[in-house]
Amino acid sequence: MKAVLRLAALSAWSRRLTLGLTLVAIALAVTLLLAVERIRVDARQSFTQSVSGVDLVVGARTGGVQLMLYAVFHAGAASNNIAWDSYQTIATHPAVDWALPLSLGDSHRGFAVLGTSADYFARFRYGDKEELRFRQGKPFAGVFEAVLGSEVAKDLGYRLDDSITLNHGLGELGPEHGDKPFRVTGILASTGTPVDRTIHVSLESISALHLDWVGGAPVPGVKIPAEFVAKFDLQPKQITAALVGLKQRGDVFRMQRFVNQYRGEPLLAVLPGVALDELWQTVAMVERTLLAVSALVVLVGLAGLAATLLAGLNERRRELAILRALGAGPGDMFLMLTAEGVLVTAAGALLGLALLTVASSLAAPWLLDRLGVVLGTRWPGREELALIGAVIATGLVASLIPGWRAWRMSLADGLTPKL
């Protein structure tokens, strides 16, 4: 057995150029397959860890997935707002431990602006109930003070005490609140969540920005300078959504029913985990399609391996016949050709895993910056090992064909010249 395997390795090495190209094709296919699986797993984990310790997300009545997307991930827009009185009723409910108001709708150079309370920095959790930490500075304490996420500060080059102005609306081309600049008082440490790409200001700041605005546009002829906004009542009239933490997890469904049946206005309360499950069910077909395409690419590479081995048999007839004449049996020929295919497949799978590791290290910053997906560099997980095993098993099956052909070759077929 060892002699046959060693012979298979030497035979493959003697044809290293041809088999090397096939090996590279298999490695690239395996890299694609594993990359799709790793991105799928890490994307789910990134979404799941974006908010932790929140029992309910409350917003205007809409779809649960849509509510999660704009309240937690700042993607899309709310269908409606929540009246401040309704939020106060929910926040003061006996079952509620804490509540964080969220006001969205403004932006700065493509980054979302979040209006909230100062409790946000003490209550908000992500990952495994990790607290927000300040890399520099401190939370906002007054009107026109801002706390930047790590990616905002990094991409735009902002530092403490820099002055920034916000835009009305989510687009970069929205009208600018140029007469009311904000001072940067703090920069948060990186979290790998949408917090990194968010500018945090107080709810009073959001109200102050829009004192002289009506219906999404400035009131003609009315201009309230920044130094005069303190003379006005800056308590918000409405917010976009709220994050709610309960005193006891057992009250979650009772509180959800209370919010969903609230008579003051149509509201919706969703459990973050349930809403994320709905989101993944929505994109499950896309995931399966990507995996299927990657698997087909791997099959094409393995089919090329089988074709290469079969094509080489015609040139190796005399070699195989000599081995038969020296005492090698048909089973040894079958084992040698099959072992060659498995060796090339296994080497391609290992090379693909190595390429994935390198690609993950290079692509991780880009994915975090563009998509908010934390792509970890780690040892292959159970699912990835299962895929590698499936690739090698499929390579074994593909190698059985040239092995069977070699088994059928007779000594006379190899030594007798073709006329």
Question: What pLDDT shows up at residue 223?
Answer: 79
The CA angle 111-162-164, to the nearest 5 degrees, is 40
Sign of CA pseudo-dihedral 18, 23, 28, 32:
positive
The reported pLDDT for the residue numbered 324 is: 62
What is the phi-psi region of residue 201: left when phi exceeds 0, alpha when psi lies from -120 to 50, beta otherwise? Answer: beta
Segment 46-71 shows an average pLDDT of: 86
pLDDT tens per residue, range 157-169: 999 999 999 988 7
pLDDT in tens, 208-229: 888 877 766 677 777 787 788 8
Query: What distance in Å separates the CA atoms of residue 384 and residue 111, rounded to the nearest whole number?
Result: 35
213-218: list long-range contacts, CB under 8 Å, 24+ apart: 213/168, 216/168, 216/169, 217/175, 218/175
Beta bridge partners of 58: 242, 269
Q: What is the pLDDT of residue 132?
A: 92
Q: Distance between CA atoms of 215 and 349, rounded to whole angstroms?
A: 59
Helices assigned H by DSSP within 185-283: 203-209, 252-260, 272-282
Tell whether pTM > 0.85: no
Which tens digits make up the pLDDT trace of 237-270?
999 999 999 999 889 999 999 999 999 899 999 9
pLDDT tens across 262-312, in order? Answer: 998 999 999 988 888 887 777 777 777 877 888 888 888 788 777 776 666
pLDDT band at 152 (very low <50, low <70, confident <90, very high): very high
Please give the pLDDT value at position 163.
93
Cβ 99 vs Cβ 159: under 8 Å: no
